[in-house]
Amino acid sequence: MMIETTNLTKTFGDVRAVDGMDLAVEEGSLHGFVGPNGAGKTTAMQMLVGLLRPTEGEAYIDGEKAGTIAAKEKIGYAPQEPAFHESMTAKRYLVYMGKTAGMGSRANERADELLDWLDLADAADQTISGFSGGMRRRLSLAQAMIHEPELLILDEPTAELDPTGRRIIIESLEELTEEGITVFVSSHVLAELEQFIDTVSILRDGQLVETNDVSAIQSEYGGQAFSVETSDDERVVALIEGREWISEVRIEGDAIMVATDQPDEFKSELQTLLAEEGILLEGLSEEGSLEEAFADIMAGGEAE
Ligand SMILES: Nc1ncnc2c1ncn2[C@@H]1O[C@H](COP(=O)(O)OP(=O)(O)OP(=O)(O)O)[C@@H](O)[C@H]1O
């Protein structure tokens, strides 16, 4: 396991910010760490990176106890509110961070690679104080990656970004999947992560509510729901019932309600079937998403 915690707990006075968390994240996975504001995500991450000491329980990073040098060397961390040396240029800052991590002359080349990768090459020689919010997030990600860590821990890397800024970060994280890096990324908006994470843990009031494959959570909580209107609803229901890309189908009023954990498959198969049968598609709208499933989990009091 890349991350393994047992009864990980942190209390601040009466507040159990993280409460008996047993978490396991496999090497190479892209793991979403999701929960509403105040759920304990930042506190848990700070224990994993060794910035906070657990009140109870333990955390291990690839077998090394969290907080030890051996564990820290494996981790790249981008905090929720990154703090930079504002008067440095982006390039100098990255090289400096690389050297601090013991990289030597390779830091220079690595900084250029990362600036390039994160669309910051043109800003390499600008001082950080003039950077926009989006540029700061990207620089923070570059900083986390400078020493080629095995595990990236990213605290809400897309928070407060405009859609373009979000897209650049998410696309960058998607690319990491191919490199086998383990990514542990938090957000309070599951929809932002669900397109690229493979496993997810959901945290509420310091406790893990659920930890599973994204696809399992999607099907457990109904997956994606669609409302479909056609010229012959009954015939369509008869045609699609029992197909492996359908979890549930029924007629509700003037529409067919469909739940599926394979929405893309569903949409393309439905269109093929309707065309073959000469049935008209009069309306197709998305009714629910993992985000709604998440809202149900949050509201459902399912914590152990
Ligand atoms: N240093 C601290 N002293 C006292 N209470 C704290 C401290 N740090 C966190 N808390 C409390 O612990 C709980 C969890 O906070 P934490 O920041 O870990 O949540 P979070 O899930 O990261 O939330 P957000 O998405 O808002 O950052 C909150 O109730 C918070 O007020």
What confidence tens digit (pLDDT) does each residue in 166-199 have? 888 888 888 887 788 999 999 887 777 877 888 9
- pLDDT band at residue 288 using 50, 70 and 90 as cut-offs: low
**Is the C-beta atom of 39 inside 6 A of ligand 1?**
yes
E strand residue ranges, 132-280: 151-154, 182-187, 199-204, 207-213, 224-230, 248-252, 255-260
pTM: 0.78
Closest CA to 291 of 105, 94, 54, 32: 32
**Is the C-beta atom of 12 inside 6 A of ligand 1?**
yes
Closest CA to 184 of 146, 215, 213, 156: 156
What six digits make up the tokens of 300?
């459902």
How many Å apart are CA 93 and CA 136, to the nearest integer? 12
**Is the C-beta atom of 9 inside 6 A of ligand 1?**
no
Which residues are within 8 A (CB) of 3 and not within 5 positions of it... i.e. 6 or more apart? 23, 24, 25, 31, 48, 59, 60, 61, 151, 182, 184
**17-63 residue pLDDT tens:** 999 999 999 999 999 999 888 899 999 999 999 999 999 999 999 99
Decide if pLDDT at 303 tops 50.
no
How many Å apart are CA 90 and CA 140, to the nearest integer? 10
**126-174 residue pLDDT tens:** 999 999 989 999 999 999 999 999 999 999 998 888 878 888 888 888 8
Residue 188 Cα: closest atom of ligand 1: 25
Residue 35 Cα: closest atom of ligand 1: 21
What six digits make up the tokens of 137?
């997030």
Decide if pLDDT at 294 tops 70.
no
